């Protein structure tokens, strides 16, 4: 892996983790598009680098929401001590934890199946297009008349269950949580904010789980610099993506992301049908 490749993949991870366009799908499609065999031929390196990039986006969301994180953690701790959820921040902290559970359970249970069966370029292309239609429909019919204070326990469970669908590359974790939020009548900015706060335990937990598996062996020889620039690129681009989405959704709908998903999905299918790239991967 070269430093340039690490930078590109870091930027891709940072942007697509928070834009509703699927980070897992893009991290498969980019090496497939450029015919980079190094990750496919080195499964252990692939998993290790994936952990590194998720660490970068985890840092990005922590830095961006550091005030909210401190408030939520403090309120959560006080709620345990007082056995009370009277504080709105305490309730939000518990709602986020509840939403984390379904994806965490299914992620561990289905990790091998997802890696072996669902990471095919043709599946990613189809899911990019299908979820673009879902996104367009929900965005244009939802009432959008609630904020985060109005979320209920059943809402948090529904968002958590929907988030588990994003385990399929091409769907998008941020996209599916935002759309579920809109379907529950959250305004666009509130739905995005909940999605990003939810990424803290989800992305952080996934990175910690995978890191524990590879901690025994350390980094592969000669990869320290690519890993460092990959983490930095993911962190910087992730921070920029969060800022952009929250600012953009204050005044705009999701049409930009719908169009992007359709264009990318159709483009992938054209490359496959024309024989330029294999629909099964590199």
- Classify 186 as helix, strand or coil: strand
Q: Report the interhelical angle of 43-64 vs 66-82 (nearest 10°).
A: 80
In the chain, what are the domain boundaries?
A: 3-273
pLDDT at residue 40, as a whole number:
65
pLDDT tens digits in sequence order for the chain, 282 residues long:
889 999 999 999 999 999 999 998 999 999 999 988 776 666 667 777 888 898 899 999 999 999 999 999 999 999 998 888 878 899 999 999 999 888 777 766 665 666 667 789 999 999 999 999 999 999 999 999 999 999 999 999 999 988 887 778 999 999 999 999 999 999 999 999 999 999 998 888 777 766 666 666 666 667 778 889 999 999 999 999 999 999 999 999 999 999 999 999 999 999 999 998 887 776
pLDDT at residue 265, as a whole number:
97
Q: What is the per-residue DSSP string for 14-51?
A: HHHHHSTT-HHHHHHHHHHHHT--HHHH-HHHHHHHHH
With a CB cutoff of 8 Å and minimum separation 6, the contacts of 172 are: 16, 20, 21, 22, 23, 25, 131, 166
The pTM score is: 0.91
pLDDT at residue 46, as a whole number:
72
- Cα gap 258→264, rounded to integer Å: 10
In the block, residue with structure tokens 């590879």:
214
């Amino acid at each position: 892996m070269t430093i340039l490749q690490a930078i590109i993949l870091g930027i891709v991870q940072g942007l697509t983790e928070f834009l509703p366009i699927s980070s897992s799908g893009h991290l498969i499609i980019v090496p497939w598009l450029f015919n980079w065999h190094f990750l496919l031929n080195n499964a252990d390196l692939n998993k290790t680098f994936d952990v590194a990039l998720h660490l970068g986006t985890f840092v990005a969301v922590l830095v961006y929401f550091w005030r909210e994180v401190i408030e939520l953690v403090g309120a959560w701790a006080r709620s345990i001590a007082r056995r009370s959820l009277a504080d709105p921040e305490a309730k939000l902290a518990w709602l986020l934890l509840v939403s984390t559970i379904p994806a965490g359970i299914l992620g561990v249970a289905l990790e091998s199946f997802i890696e072996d069966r669902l990471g095919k370029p043709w599946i990613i292309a189809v899911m990019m297009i299908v979820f673009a239609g879902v996104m367009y429909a929900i965005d244009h019919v939802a009432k959008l008349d609630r904020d985060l204070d109005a979320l209920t326990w059943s809402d948090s469970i529904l968002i958590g269950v929907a988030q588990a669908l994003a385990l399929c590359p091409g769907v998008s974790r941020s996209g599916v949580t935002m759309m579920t939020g809109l379907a529950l009548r959250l305004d666009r900015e509130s739905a995005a904010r909940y999605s990003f706060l939810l990424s803290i335990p989800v992305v952080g937990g996934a990175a910690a789980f995978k890191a524990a598996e590879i901690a025994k062996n350390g980094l592969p020889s000669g990869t320290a610099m690519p890993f460092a620039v990959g983490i930095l690129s993911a962190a910087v681009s992730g921070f920029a993506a969060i800022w952009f989405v929250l600012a953009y959704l204050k005044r705009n709908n999701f049409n930009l992301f719908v169009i992007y998903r359709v264009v990318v999905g159709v483009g992938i299918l054209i490359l496959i049908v024309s024989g330029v790239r294999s629909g099964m991967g590199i």
